Amino acid sequence: MTAPWTADPIRVGLVGAGPWARTMHARMLSAGPETELVSVWARRPEAAARIATEYGATTATSFDELLGSCEAVAFAVPPSVQAELAVRAARAGRALLLEKPLGPDLLSARALADAVAESGVVSQLVLSKRYHPATREFLARARQLDVAGARSCFLHGAFLGGEQATSWRLEHGALLDLGPHLLDLLDMAVSPVTSVRATGDTRRWIELSCEHENGAVSQASLSGAVRLPRARTRVELYGQDEELVYDTAEFDHEDAWPVLRREFAAAVRAGRSSDIDARRGLRLQELLTQALDGSSRSAHPSR
């Protein structure tokens, strides 16, 4: 059983007021006891005010005002906005709860990761699946296997319409939005990815072919524009041992949020990031960039 949280809650400011900011970030951060949502800022003041009112926070009139109200900043904005503002937050000494991808391109992602390293602030990525207990059990079992090959998919229809069909998702498609999740899982479960190639249309269906450090190969199918009754995320590992399958169909995704919240708060209080940090975000951005470039160049883990 997890010990009760006895430290003061981390005072968190939220940047963004879209659907993900409202349904996940604000709800998770305000639930406590490890964190307290103290302020919300967005470029649409009325949307920020609605979230702030619903969750008992104040509405900041500027990003600088938000920085002055908190010790950590959570970002729920498009990658281009995050990459710009998170650098400022890091230089102001604020811990960062970051969405994936870190930025719209590798240059901006590297600038953000460098700012985090130079300032020494705690950073953590909202790679939501990594915080689910079933994912951690899968990865622990995968470490015991000699994997020769893997197949995986992350498929849903959110881009077809509704509030999750945001402009940046429709523009950039599944690779930047869904790709980090599968590349992260394959990189962890099989062995580090050394090269990745992409075929297809990232706004319809894209296929990734990965080569791994241990000689294994893996495939990842990504789409946010297919009609399914529910999102489908599945990873199948094959080798000389019995197959190992990871499938989120029966998951209660709510089980991930308390873990994410507690680990972020503990990292901030300890002043030490976990391995799901900005460096991990940069590693995934390097792989995404290689896929976008259609390159077979090796992608070595960032130091």
pLDDT for res 29:
98
Domains and CATH numbers, the chain: 10-128+255-276 (3.40.50.720), 133-250 (3.30.360.10)
pLDDT in tens, 243-291: 999 999 988 989 999 999 999 999 999 999 999 999 999 999 999 999 9
- The parts of the chain modelled with pLDDT lower than 50 are 295-300, 303
pLDDT for res 167:
74
pLDDT for res 294:
67
pLDDT for res 1:
58
Q: Vertex 17, ends 5 and 41: CA angle to 5°?
A: 75
pLDDT for res 172:
78
- At 66 the three-state DSSP class reads helix
- At 260 the three-state DSSP class reads helix
pLDDT in tens, 72-89: 999 999 999 999 999 999
pLDDT for res 297:
41
Cis peptide before 33 (omega within 30 of 0): yes
Predicted model pTM: 0.93
